[in-house]
Structure 1
Amino acid sequence: MSKLSTPQLLNLAKASYLALLIWVLLWHLWLSPPAEISVILMLVFWVLPLLFPLQGILTGKPYTYAWSCFILLLYVLHSTTLLVVSVEERWLAAIELVLVLAAFWFGLSYAKQRGKELGIGLKKRKDKQSD
């Protein structure tokens, strides 16, 4: 498989992140709205975190893609938990897991590749010399 170019990685990262955002909205507003708590509270808890990095995601800032992965970990935890405990929402969780892993993978790949192009990657730690 050939290496993806930086613009291709950016497009895949944006698309997967936006697809996750749309999926979360569809899930909680239409496909399986919450019965026990208010829809507003559910949207604040599940949609608001995805909106924090949205400006940087849309403008292609590699640093934003890197730190947004911390937010995506919440959705990895959510989807994997529901895959185990909820038979009714298992298919919804499986789709969420695929989307969040795609957003995570392409986002990190874009951040790493673009960071190298800009010369802002992490420096490798040199081996410590023994005394």
Structure 2
Amino acid sequence: MSNSRFYYVLALCGHLGLLGLLIVWNVWLYPPTIFPVAIVLLFYIGPLLLPLQGLLHGRLYTHAWVHFLALFYFTVGVMIAAANREERWYAIAQVVLSIMLFMGSMLYVRYRAREQRMNAQNL
């Protein structure tokens, strides 16, 4: 398995893991009490659905800008872990998955671009 393929799988695992974790967390484990569940899902999970097609197709541009999205989920996870004792382990899982997404997508862009340059030089 090439480096870019490994980091592609790492980014996808982080992204899909975040999707799954946030759905389970906000729908079944700790549903929100202040806002309706649908509103929370729209604002909390909706942004993860935007880059899904580009990530699944391995587009470099999508992997490059998904870093900003991963940083948002990292920050929210750290805040929840620090503030809410009951949901701390779910927030730590969110932090780990957002780091997987961030590192996987960043290194996928790096190694995939390098592989594409090498293939272009060899032609």
Q: Same fold (TM over 0.5)?
A: yes
The letter for the 2-side match of 1:82 is: I
C-alpha distance in structure 1 between counterparts of 2:54 and 2:116, whole Å:
16
CA displacement 1:89-127 (0-9 Å, x = unmatched)? 1111011101111111111110111122223xxxxxxxx
Residues 13, 100 of structure 2: 8 Å contact kept: no
What TM-score do you get using the length of structure 1 for normalisation? Answer: 0.84
Which one of 71, 75, 78 corresponds to residue 77 of structure 1? 75
C-alpha distance in structure 2 between counterparts of 1:115 and 1:107, whole Å:
12
C-alpha distance in structure 1 between counterparts of 2:7 and 2:71, whole Å:
20
2:10 aligned residue: 12
C-alpha distance in structure 2 between counterparts of 1:7 and 1:91, whole Å:
29
For these two proteins, the number of residue pairs brought into alignment is 117
The letter for the 2-side match of 1:100 is: S
Q: Which one has more relative contact order, counting CA pairs under 8 Å at least 6 apart?
A: 2
1:46 aligned residue: 44
User: Cα distance, 1:38 vs. partner?
Assistant: 0.4
- Structure number with the higher helix fraction is 2
User: Cα distance, 1:40 vs. partner?
Assistant: 0.6
The letter for the 2-side match of 1:28 is: N
Residues 31, 37 of structure 2: 8 Å contact kept: yes
User: Cα distance, 1:20 vs. partner?
Assistant: 1.0
Aligned-residue identity in percent: 34
Q: CA RMSD in A?
A: 1.4
Residues 62, 112 of structure 1: 8 Å contact kept: no
2:20 aligned residue: 22
1:91 aligned residue: 89
What TM-score do you get using the length of structure 2 for normalisation? Answer: 0.89
Which SS does the other structure have where 2:31 is aligned?
coil
C-alpha distance in structure 2 between counterparts of 1:15 and 1:84, whole Å:
25
Residues 10, 60 of structure 1: 8 Å contact kept: yes
User: Cα distance, 1:84 vs. partner?
Assistant: 1.1
Which ranges of structure 1 fall in alignment gaps of 5 or more residues? 120-131
Which ranges of structure 2 fall in alignment gaps of 5 or more residues? 118-123
C-alpha distance in structure 1 between counterparts of 2:58 and 2:112, whole Å:
9
C-alpha distance in structure 1 between counterparts of 2:3 and 2:75, whole Å:
30
Is structure 2 residue 55 aligned with structure 1 residue 57?
A: yes
1:125 aligned residue: none
